[in-house]
Amino acid sequence: MGDGSSSRSNSSNSTSEKPEWLQQYNLVGKIGEGTYGLVFLARTKTPPKRPIAIKKFKQSKDGDGVSPTAIREIMLLREISHENVVKLVNVHINFADMSLYLAFDYAEYDLYEIIRHHRDKVGHSLNTYTVKSLLWQLLNGLNYLHSNWIIHRDLKPSNILVMGDAEEHGIVKIADFGLARIYQAPLKPLSDNGVVVTIWYRAPELLLGSKHYTSAVDMWAVGCIFAELLTLKPLFQGAEAKSSQNPFQLDQLDKIFKILGHPTMDKWPTLVNLPHWQNDVQHIQAHKYDSVGLHNVVHLNQKSPAYDLLSKMLEYDPLKRITASQALEHEYFRMDPLPGRNAFVASQPMEKNVNYPTRPVDTNTDFEGTTSINPPQAVAAGNVAGNMAGAHGMGSRSMPRPMVAHNMQRMQQSQGMMAYNFPAQAGLNPSVPLQQQRGMAQPHQQQQLRRKDPGMGMSGYAPPNKSRRL
Amino acid sequence: MGEPKDSLALFLCHESESSLNEDDDETIERSDKQEPHFTTTIDDEDYVADLVLKENLRFETLPSKTTSSSDRLIAIDWILTTRTRFGFQHQTAYIAISYFDLFLHKRFIGLQKDETWAMRLLSVACLSLAAKMEERIVPGLSQYPQDHDFVFKPDVIRKTELLILSTLDWKMNLITPFHYFNYFLAKISQDNHSVSKDLVLLRSSDSLLALTKEISFTEYRQFVVAAVTTLLASSSTSSDIRLTREEIANKFGSISWWTSNENENVYLCYQRTLEIEERKHMTPPPEIAVSREPPASGSGAKRRLSFDDSDQSSPPAKRMRRL
């Protein structure tokens, strides 16, 4: 690691102005702007120093209080623990502006960027091993969620992260639980959330207005992602209608029908019960579709196990759509190359490994609403030394240059912000790491689950275990 | 490969109390709804068994601190009244009261003179959080009704929300009796074909909310409360028969996870609920007591309190943290 990165200690004048919870981190810079607010890259100060993504929840509309999306995401992530689900490390309350910050284990990559890299730079598809490993791990995490009665509802490539650090290199993490729901929780139309959710991965029963849906909506999205990993472009790239609440999505349905053909009551008996099927019968049923055929779009042999699995994921009838646990047992995953824990590097590499670019880091952006902070140490994002360094061709990695941080001091009133007289407010310690809900509850609960789902929990991958790496 | 084997493995998402909600999409809702059935699917069995397992693992028997507190009753009345005003589901009110009880178990608020505003503020924040968890349309903080005595700015409510969230460790997804009502009703409904399912659900919801004044969220497992409430709501009102342990066991005999321990817990809760009902018939209506000004809150002088973003100086009350 000799690419000119150097330590630059310059924190003496800003340490005293940091929020208390932030002093355990070395802030690197901004890495993105999510739907709900900024995302920063930081690194823990105490060993083992590891990269952390700090996601700030900006306040919802003035006067609405804590956002339901934040509550739901934190609540769910506090309940679950799985290798293929993103890990919530800490929840911080910034009392200066009463905003919320979530600290996650940092994931260097996501499927959106990986696909884009192959499409724009590499020029050819992902190799079979990587596609299979990414898909298997995604299904493994999803099976865990569904077994715990959680439906994600917003699966898309940008929400499927892949780890870059040495210990977990190539491990898939399902992220963004702001729209997730637990079984029997009351449903809300997606448009109610005011969230821009890309429509390309939305299941047909949702597009046709169903308010009662199942975990099958996640499996449809996985099918779309699977196809996109194969073809490097979205499978059903429709334009979303946003005229009113729960509008009729004609264009998206049109894109689906052109490839899969027209749904029929023979294949989908409950089709007639869906609101938009009745209300907009003219738009759909009057239109003639000459379907291209899924096999022609994804260029798979119709008799291949890969095509069989994909077509079962993209089954119209949600009752017949394959489940995550069934998919994990599919023949596709039993053929060579067997899926592995490191989706990027097979234990017996058959093809050249692809080195993906790291995320750009903006080191010149301050936390919103907090004091200006100079990064005390300029480090490359995700640049973790380890035994995988050689495989990545470290020299080709582009390092973000340290830049002079914005030096304006914005003093925030951190005293006397508590307007209510609840006793023992000093006992409120939001920066204390949250204890994982393990121990007695989880192992016992998993043993009691009726359906035996191989690969559930921490056990890793389907047998045989030849491809497992330690 | 053939057709997916376990097509029943899909678990359904649907509104609990869907027939009780006033819904703008009533027409769409009706056309989308399956015909009501009195059987449970394989996944319903798995799901309920999971819930009961979780409850048994997490349940701690704690002595109730607030059952007879007049402040708690005032808070519950406010929550129930506001629920009706906004048209929230029964479950939303129940969850708000549960947040209230859970919070006070962790951060005890003494019955001091100036604490009534804190109880109201806590009620507002608990109902707001419950609405965010359960309702389709969530009112803004400024829309919650204000009294002459208390006016809370949205910022203050937000801070209280954050305090509740941190105190409850963000575990806001509570298991409530509403998770079980349809299941228990399906299990015992074969005895009462004449009783309308929707009517029983409505009775269960109403009596459950009334029961919150007598027992707090932490006193019983939620499936125990659900079983008792379903039993009482599904029996004929003219009947004066008390069920024995054996009769209750027969009612739930088709449930695979039902053991003598479960039956005993349900029987004890059933007995206590009947005693509560009998006590109500023999004592004056509680409305008279609640309508009076609590003497502890002052000597008749109403105090208009408006809270800005400034510290309220007040003697610190005792903190009893649950271990």
Judge residue A148's burial from the number of C-beta atoms within 10 Å of its C-beta, 0-12 exposed, 13-18 middle, 19 or more buried.
Answer: buried
Q: What is the pLDDT of residue A322?
A: 97
Q: What is the pLDDT of residue A282?
A: 62
CA angle A282, B12, B35 (to 5 degrees): 65
Evaluate whether A119 touches A233 at the Cβ level (below 8 Å): yes
Evaluate whether A52 touches A41 at the Cβ level (below 8 Å): yes
Evaluate whether A403 touches A384 at the Cβ level (below 8 Å): no
Residue range B21-30: average pLDDT?
A: 32
For tokens 């029961």, what's the residue? B211
Task: Identify whether A154 is a catalytic site residue.
Answer: yes
Q: What is the pLDDT of residue A258?
A: 82
Listed by number, the residues of chain A in 70-109 with a beta carbon closer than 8 Å to a beta carbon of chain B are 71-72, 74-76, 78-79, 91, 93, 98, 100
**Residue, of A412 and B231, whose pLDDT is higher:** B231
As given in the structure block, the two tokens for residue A307 are 């095509």
Evaluate whether A118 touches A157 at the Cβ level (below 8 Å): no
Least confident window among A358-367, A444-453, B184-193, B199-208: A444-453
- Position B216 confidence tier, pLDDT thresholds 50, 70, 90: confident
Is the pLDDT score of A323 beyond 80?
A: yes
User: Where in chain B are the domains?
Assistant: 63-168, 177-282
Q: What is the pLDDT of residues B118-138, one digit of tens each?
A: 888 999 999 999 999 888 688
Is the pLDDT score of B4 beyond 60?
A: no
Q: What is the pLDDT of residues B154-181, one digit of tens each?
A: 888 988 999 899 899 898 878 899 888 8
Q: What is the pLDDT of residue B59?
A: 75
Pairwise CA distance, residues B261 & B102, whole Å: 25
Is A74 annotated in a binding site? The answer is no
Evaluate whether A456 touches B194 at the Cβ level (below 8 Å): no
Residue range A427-451: average pLDDT?
A: 30
- Position A410 confidence tier, pLDDT thresholds 50, 70, 90: very low
**Residue, of A363 and A293, whose pLDDT is higher:** A293
The reply to whether residue B32 touches residue A440, judged by beta carbons under 8 angstroms, is no
As given in the structure block, the two tokens for residue B137 are 């349309």
Which residues are within 8 A (CB) of A222 and not within 5 positions of it... i.e. 6 or more apart?
Answer: A135, A138, A139, A142, A155, A313, A324, A327
Is the pLDDT score of B111 beyond 90?
A: no
Residue range A53-75: average pLDDT?
A: 77
Least confident window among A277-281, A323-327, A337-341, B223-227: A277-281
The bridge status of strand B305-306 relative to strand B150-151 is parallel
Which residues are within 8 A (CB) of B16 and not within 5 positions of it... i.e. 6 or more apart?
Answer: A184, A186, B91, B178, B179, B181, B182
Q: What is the pLDDT of residue B109?
A: 53
User: Where in chain A are the domains?
Assistant: 19-103, 109-331
Q: What is the pLDDT of residue A470?
A: 22
Candidate from B11, B46, B114 with C-beta closest to A214: B11
| DSSP code for A299 | T
Pairwise CA distance, residues A415 & A430, whole Å: 16
CATH superfamily of A109-331: Transferase(Phosphotransferase) domain 1 (1.10.510.10)
Interface test with B, best of A57, A61, A66 (most B CBs within 10 A): A66
Looking at the complex, does the CB of residue A369 fall below 8 Å from at least one CB of chain B?
no
The bridge status of strand A160-162 relative to strand A172-174 is antiparallel
The values of phi and psi at residue A369, to 5°, are 80, 0
**In the CATH hierarchy, which fold is given to the domain comprising A19-103?**
Phosphorylase Kinase; domain 1 (3.30.200)
Pairwise CA distance, residues A187 & A197, whole Å: 16
Is A33 annotated in a binding site? The answer is yes
Is the pLDDT score of A316 beyond 90?
A: yes
Q: What percent of chain A has pLDDT over 90?
A: 23
Is A39 annotated in a binding site? The answer is yes
For tokens 């005390």, what's the residue? A376
Q: What is the pLDDT of residue A136?
A: 94
Looking at the complex, does the CB of residue A377 fall below 8 Å from at least one CB of chain B?
no
Sign of CA dihedral B150, B153, B157, B160: negative
**Residue, of B159 and A257, whose pLDDT is higher:** A257
Q: What is the pLDDT of residues B40-56, one digit of tens each?
A: 555 567 778 878 887 88
Q: What is the pLDDT of residue A245?
A: 56
- Position A280 confidence tier, pLDDT thresholds 50, 70, 90: low
Q: What is the pLDDT of residue A6?
A: 29
Find the residue in A nearest to B120 (Cα): A420
Candidate from A74, A149, A330 with C-beta closest to B47: A149
Choose the catalytic residue: A110, A154, A218, A453.
A154
Evaluate whether B165 touches A67 at the Cβ level (below 8 Å): no
C-beta atoms surrounding A424 within 10 Å: 17
3-state DSSP assignment of residue A379: coil
Beta strands (DSSP E) in B105-154 are 150-151
C-beta atoms surrounding A369 within 10 Å: 16
Q: What percent of chain B has pLDDT over 90?
A: 14
- Give me chain A's average pLDDT, please: 69
Evaluate whether A109 touches A161 at the Cβ level (below 8 Å): yes
Residue range A448-453: average pLDDT?
A: 29
- Give me chain B's average pLDDT, please: 69
CATH number at B63-168: 1.10.472.10
The reply to whether residue A419 touches residue B155, judged by beta carbons under 8 angstroms, is yes
Alpha helices, DSSP H only, in A30-171?
A: 68-79, 111-117, 128-147
Q: What is the pLDDT of residue A133?
A: 95
Least confident window among A83-87, B106-110, B148-152: B106-110
State the amino acid at position A333 in one-letter form. F
Residue range B7-31: average pLDDT?
A: 33
Q: What is the pLDDT of residues A4-52, one digit of tens each?
A: 222 323 333 333 456 878 888 988 898 876 655 778 899 898 887 779 9
Q: What is the pLDDT of residue A166?
A: 76
**Residue, of B91 and A428, whose pLDDT is higher:** B91
Pairwise CA distance, residues B153 & B305, whole Å: 11
Q: What is the pLDDT of residue B185?
A: 79
Is A2 annotated in a binding site? The answer is no
